[in-house]
Amino acid sequence: MKSVNQEAVEHDPQQLHEELHDIWGNPKGIKALTIVNHTTLGLRFMVTGMVFFLIGGILAMLVRTQLAMPDQDFMSPDIYNQVTTMHGTVMMFLFAIPMLEGLAIYLIPKMIGARDLVCPRLTSLGYFCYLFGGIILTFSLIIEMAPSSGWFMYTPLSSSEYAPGLGSDFWLLGITFVEISAVSAGVELVVSILRTRTQGMALHKMPLFAWYILAMALMIVIGFPPLILASVLLELERAVGMPFFEIAGGGDPILWQHLFWLFGHPEVYIIFLPAAGIVSTLIPVFAGRPIVGYGWVVFAIIVTGFISFGLWVHHMFTVGIPQLAQAFFSAASMLVAVPTAIQVFVWLATLWLGKPKMKLPMLWVMGFLIIFVCGGLTGVMLALVPFNWQVHDTHFVVAHMHYVLVGGMFFPLIAGLYYWLPLFSGRMPSENLGRWGFWLTFLGFNGTFLIMHWTGLLGMPRRVYTYEAGSGWEIYNLLSSVSSFVLSAGIAMVLLDIALHFRFGKPAKHNPWNADTLEWANSMPPSAYNFISLPNVETRHPLWDDPKLPYTMAEGKHGLAVPVHGRREMWGTDPITGKVREIIHLPGNSWWPLLAAAALAVVCISLLVRVYALAGIFVLIAGVFLLRWSWENGAHPIAAPEAAVAPGDPPLHSRTMDGPGLWAMAVFLLANGSFFLSYLFGWFYLWTVSPEWRMPDTSPLSLPLLAAAGIAIAAGAVVMEKLVRGLRHQCDDRLRVGLYLAGTLGAVQVALTAWVLYSANLSPTQTSHDAVLLVGLIYVLFHGGLAVVLTLMQGLRVGYGYVGTHAPFEPAVVTQLWRYNVVTFLVLVGSIAILPRVVGG
Amino acid sequence: MDAMLKRLHLTHPLHFVVGLTLWCIWFIAVYGGHAVACEAFAPAPEQGVFTLLNGGLLIVSIVTTGLLLLLTWGCYVVAKQHQGRDRFNAVVSAGLYLFSAFSVVFVALPIIGVPPCL
């Protein structure tokens, strides 16, 4: 029997390259918009992120110019508020996260020995959502209608009473649109890391960078939905008057703060973790030895990922929370220093025991260590409640935040860009220009923000557009502003160096830093398919242990060097052991992601200008595009024209019961569950805390009808489970009829729930109670409707021969949604219809 | 069923997240329970820390710590019986359970010194 490794098979490397290029190569011209390849899209994410970084940087310069001297009128107060809000928003949402996601999208498949991410069309959809959302948001600056309530958009400042224009709407709709991108990337990075590592790469052998990105991606999946929910609720309040955050209507503005910081604090670590991953990758390479304490780093990553979700209230110490609750969050805030300190000591120990070479990337790593440790220490200070009260809303907090985010993200990012530049371009950067860039940035940064700690301690509040002469803050602000321009000069020099190196940089030799990870087994710059053959990797340092590996991979001496079938293929492996399970075949270039993102952009703009009919039409159009996209998957002739594999090779994933789509659905439902739990948190929070909350004497929701709906959805789920069990046992008798039956039961549940909603006669613009009920019922209606459509579509696909015992995979994916719907429906009914009847208002 | 049993084994990487998930559940229960109790039946401030609420929170914390320490010990014992991947998984899990237990104790400490609803 032929081994999956296919060692010792002779191939002509040039012919293999040409054949693989025919399958994986990127089209040119207008068709370049259809590209789904991770290398191209990763670069697009990063280039777009850098454009937004420049916009955010210019806004920062405007802020510092305004604050350089007292009593300046360079900007009006309103414009200043727009500029500061957009600086924070652009840097956080349009630069930091997409940039790091872009780097991960580019690097992860190369590092784990795969040819692409597992959902390439999702990468493309994510990119276009990011691009369109970013353009919509920044367009508000041009028309001087940008959001002006601060990057955290606190209510009631951002509510229609105090922010009557379109500024807040731009933020809420634009950011939500961009977050589709973030969650998409999160889902596929999780599944790619767990299921597409090359054979033999067990979980405990994978590169540390992959661990960091796995944690980051899971944190995005769980951390972003609370903000998506908050944005939806606030937009509903602004657009139609549902009083979620208005005291008079039974809402509470503090609910916004909880939902925002439930996202906002983990986000700091979502930004920090991949940057720390860069540091953990670079230090061993330049120290010339394996990292000290791989297991300790894995431990620290996991701890950070969890503990960072327990700190959100430390942003709210001044809003009037009981002291004991503040003490819980103060302690948790201090705890998160432990895993961070572990990583710092691991990095120092690796440098101590190795022979560090102070090349350009290492200069930025050293800058990171100094700045980030300082930022971490002021973070521990801010975790102490009394100190936090003293400096709340002062420039001290602004300085701390920049030490953490610029030190913790920007410095490692530049280190990583310099390190991987030869991989991107095949050329080396200029050491001289790079060093000038580093020192100007380092000195300029500390000159700007170290001094800002002092202005903060002297009492200067943040978000004020000017200050009076004689306040004692003049000299500090002037020094900060001058230093900020030095910082800008440094960054300009770095960007110049990177731009020039594409033309003038010395050609890089192969693996120029003598790195140990698989991305350096690529050609430089990489081909669209990454590797001609996929190796067996059972070590953490494949290129150190076998320096000839890149050459044998390029000669086709390892797995999957058989392109004759015309499919885009890579290994699907066991998430723990790395043993090969199946061959994953990936979809090719497509217009659907672009079209779906464009339709969603029209929805976003229509909601912004409040043409709701148009928004509704384009929601349907986007739905049609997405359904057509999903139609071409699995056993569809476009996805896999024929299912034959080489003798001895495992089957195609679409012919098994455990393809990556199953995992992607599970991770997506994790995000969805986070959204649902945030909703429940909002319900119970308002019920418990809101001073004007009004619970009606009798619930307006009909329990008998809800019970009937519950029976219908449970029966539909049972039918789906039975069908999937049959497919698992190679039986597809009455599969189509069963799917139609389940779809019909789902439709009954939707109809009954809709009847409950209609008969409840809610007044969602009068009380937050009714508004919350409405949102909850719409949530289950949407999910019920989605399950019906997907199930009926499965029935159709059985008829076309795309689903059956030969391709049993898809009903299992849809069944997961059914399970989720049953659980959420029952929990929702229990929370909003039964519990109020039991405990009363 | 076999797959489920494998996941329960202390060498399975699922245990990387079980301890900290328990910590999260404990944290939500203590913070949420405390918030609801303070809204619904706040004890008189003059009672100080000796209240039913503090007592309840403390008991929940002690039980959670005990469970996490038990799992730490289990992983530690299993780790000594294995080599390679299984040992790595069990050792990291033991560390994570221990840290989770420490986190419960550290965050719960104010319960014995701070009155509940001030």
Per residue, the 3-state secondary structure of chain B, as one string, reads CHHHHHHHCCCCCCHHHHHHHHHHHHHHHHHHHHHHHHHHHCCCHHHCCCCHHHHHHHHHHHHHHHHHHHHHHHHHHHHHCCCHHHHHHHHHHHHHHHHHHHHHHHHHHHHHCCCCCC
**B70 touching A, CB under 8 A?**
no
**Which residues 32-51 on chain B approach chain A with CB closer than 8 angstroms?**
32, 34-36, 38-40
Q: Which of A309, A577, A689 sits opposite B24 (nearest CB)?
A: A309
Torsion, Cα B36 B40 B43 B48, to 10 degrees, reads: 20
B contact test, residue of A203, A294, A306, A334 with most B CBs within 10 A: A306
According to the model, what pLDDT value does residue B3 have? 66
Question: Could you tell me which chain A residue has the CA closest to the CA of B87?
Answer: A204
Query: Is residue A2 pLDDT above 50, yes or no?
Result: no
- Sequential DSSP letters for A729-774: TT--TTHHHHHHHHHHHHHHHHHHHHHHHHHHT--TTT-HHHHHHH
Question: Could you tell me which chain B residue has the CA closest to the CA of A689?
Answer: B39
According to the model, what pLDDT value does residue A200 have? 95
According to the model, what pLDDT value does residue A554 have? 93
| Cα A294 from Cα A735, distance rounded (Å) | 49
Q: Do A338 and B34 touch (CB under 8 A)?
A: no
pLDDT, tens digit, for every residue of A693-727?
Answer: 999 988 999 999 999 999 999 999 999 999 999 99
- A492 within 8 A of A498, measured Cβ to Cβ: no
pLDDT, tens digit, for every residue of A209-248?
Answer: 999 999 999 999 999 999 999 999 999 999 999 999 999 9
Q: Do B116 and A324 touch (CB under 8 A)?
A: yes
What letter does residue A75 receive in the DSSP assignment? Answer: S
- A514 within 8 A of A108, measured Cβ to Cβ: no
Residue A564, judged by CB atoms within 10 A of its CB (0-12, 13-18, 19+), counts as exposed
**A310 touching B, CB under 8 A?**
yes
Query: Is residue A586 pLDDT above 80, yes or no?
Result: yes
Show the tokens assigned to A14: 């040039």
Q: Do B35 and A299 touch (CB under 8 A)?
A: no
**B7 touching A, CB under 8 A?**
no
**B85 touching A, CB under 8 A?**
yes
According to the model, what pLDDT value does residue A5 have? 46
| Cα A616 from Cα A658, distance rounded (Å) | 36
- The strand pairing partners of A427, in sequence order, are A507
**Residue matched to tokens 């940035």:** A441
- Under the banding of pLDDT at 50, 70 and 90, the label for residue A646 is confident
Q: Which residues contact A162 (CB under 8 A, 6 or more apart)?
A: A149, A156
Inter-chain Cβ pairs, chain A and chain B, closer than 8 A: 89
In 10 A of CB A475, how many CB atoms?
11
List, in sequence order, the alpha helices (H) in A559-636.
592-608, 612-631
CATH architecture of the domain formed by A13-504? Up-down Bundle (1.20)
Question: Could you tell me which chain A residue has the CA closest to the CA of B7?
Answer: A576
- Under the banding of pLDDT at 50, 70 and 90, the label for residue A4 is very low
- A585 within 8 A of A568, measured Cβ to Cβ: yes
Please report which helix (H) or strand (E) contains residue A777, including its range: helix A768-800
Question: Could you tell me which chain A residue has the CA closest to the CA of B116?
Answer: A324
Show the tokens assigned to A260: 């925002």
What is residue A657's three-state secondary structure?
coil
According to the model, what pLDDT value does residue A3 have? 43
Q: Which residues contact A1 (CB under 8 A, 6 or more apart)?
A: A647, A648
**A323 touching B, CB under 8 A?**
yes
CA-wise closest residue to A721 among A609, A794, A793, A816: A816
According to the model, what pLDDT value does residue A733 have? 87
Mean pLDDT of all residues in chain A? 94
Question: Could you tell me which chain A residue has the CA closest to the CA of B91?
Answer: A295
Q: Do B103 and A688 touch (CB under 8 A)?
A: no
What is residue A582's three-state secondary structure?
strand
* Mean pLDDT, rounded, for A248-275: 96
Q: Do B117 and A295 touch (CB under 8 A)?
A: no
Query: Is residue A679 pLDDT above 90, yes or no?
Result: yes
| pTM for the full predicted model | 0.96
For A244-279, the three-class secondary structure string (H helix, E strand, C coil) is CCCHHHCCCHHHHHHHHHHHHHHHHHHHHHHHHHHH
According to the model, what pLDDT value does residue B7 have? 65
- A247 within 8 A of A693, measured Cβ to Cβ: no
Q: Do B115 and A299 touch (CB under 8 A)?
A: no
Query: Is residue A385 pLDDT above 90, yes or no?
Result: yes
Q: Helices A337-353 & A323-335, crossing angle to 10 degrees?
A: 10
Query: Is residue A589 pLDDT above 70, yes or no?
Result: yes
pLDDT, tens digit, for every residue of A42-62?
Answer: 999 999 999 999 999 999 999
This complex has an ipTM of 0.95
pLDDT, tens digit, for every residue of A405-464?
Answer: 999 999 999 999 999 999 999 999 999 999 999 999 999 999 999 999 999 999 999 999
CA distance to partner chain A, nearest, from residue B118 (Å): 5
Query: Is residue A367 pLDDT above 90, yes or no?
Result: yes
Q: What are phi and psi of A569, to 5 degrees?
A: -120, 150
Q: pLDDT over 90 for what percent of chain A?
A: 91
Q: Do B110 and A202 touch (CB under 8 A)?
A: no
In 10 A of CB A797, how many CB atoms?
23
pLDDT, tens digit, for every residue of A127-161?
Answer: 999 999 999 999 999 999 999 999 999 999 999 99
Query: For residues B46-82, b (16+ Cβ closer than 10 Å) or e, as one string?
Result: eeebebebbebbeebbeebbebbbebbebbbebbeee
What is residue A119's three-state secondary structure?
coil
Q: Which of A331, A334, A689 sits opposite B39 (nearest CB)?
A: A689
Q: Which of A337-346, A362-371, A515-524, A638-647 has the lowest mean pLDDT?
A: A638-647
Q: Which of A202, A295, A331 sits opposite B109 (nearest CB)?
A: A331
* Mean pLDDT, rounded, for A291-300: 97
**Residue matched to tokens 């110019």:** A65
What letter does residue A116 receive in the DSSP assignment? Answer: S
Show the tokens assigned to A825: 């429906």
Q: Which of A204, A327, A338 sits opposite B88 (nearest CB)?
A: A204
**In whole angstroms, what separates CA A34 from the centre of its chain?**
22
Q: How far apart are the first and last CA of chain B?
A: 50
According to the model, what pLDDT value does residue A438 have? 97
**B55 touching A, CB under 8 A?**
no
CA distance to partner chain B, nearest, from residue A353 (Å): 23
- A807 within 8 A of A784, measured Cβ to Cβ: no
- Under the banding of pLDDT at 50, 70 and 90, the label for residue A7 is very low
**Residue matched to tokens 């040039």:** A14
- Under the banding of pLDDT at 50, 70 and 90, the label for residue A9 is low
Side chain identity, residue A425:
S
Q: Which residues of A touch B85 (CB under 8 A)?
A: 202-204, 576-577
Side chain identity, residue A319:
V
Domain ranges, ordered by start, for chain B: 2-112
Q: How far apart are the first and last CA of chain A?
A: 70
Separation in Å, CA A660 to CA A107, A535, A586: 19, 21, 10
CA-wise closest residue to A252 among A836, A776, A691, A766: A691
- The strand pairing partners of A583, in sequence order, are A571, A652
* Mean pLDDT, rounded, for A369-378: 96
According to the model, what pLDDT value does residue B4 have? 63
**Which residues 626-685 on chain A approach chain B with CB closer than 8 angstroms?**
684
CATH architecture of the domain formed by A694-839? Up-down Bundle (1.20)
- The strand pairing partners of A571, in sequence order, are A583
Query: Is residue A648 pLDDT above 90, yes or no?
Result: no
What is residue A146's three-state secondary structure?
coil
Residue B105, judged by CB atoms within 10 A of its CB (0-12, 13-18, 19+), counts as middle
pLDDT, tens digit, for every residue of B45-87?
Answer: 888 899 999 999 999 999 999 999 999 999 999 999 999 999 9
Q: Which residues of A touch B99 (CB under 8 A)?
A: 299, 303, 338
| Cα A558 from Cα A518, distance rounded (Å) | 14
CA distance to partner chain B, nearest, from residue A478 (Å): 42
| Cα A829 from Cα A597, distance rounded (Å) | 34
Q: Which of B31, B35, B111 sits opposite A688 (nearest CB)?
A: B35
CA distance to partner chain A, nearest, from residue B88 (Å): 7
pLDDT, tens digit, for every residue of A553-577?
Answer: 999 999 888 887 888 999 999 999 9
Q: Which of B17, B88, B109 sits opposite A302 (nearest CB)?
A: B17
What is residue A4's three-state secondary structure?
coil
What is residue A581's three-state secondary structure?
strand
Residues found in chain A: 841
**B99 touching A, CB under 8 A?**
yes
Query: Is residue B44 pLDDT above 60, yes or no?
Result: yes
* Mean pLDDT, rounded, for A469-474: 93
Q: Do A299 and B30 touch (CB under 8 A)?
A: no
B contact test, residue of A211, A324, A683 with most B CBs within 10 A: A324
**B27 touching A, CB under 8 A?**
yes
pLDDT, tens digit, for every residue of A479-524?
Answer: 999 999 999 999 999 999 999 999 999 999 999 999 999 999 999 9
Q: Which of B12, B13, B96 sits opposite A303 (nearest CB)?
A: B96
Domain ranges, ordered by start, for chain A: 13-504, 694-839
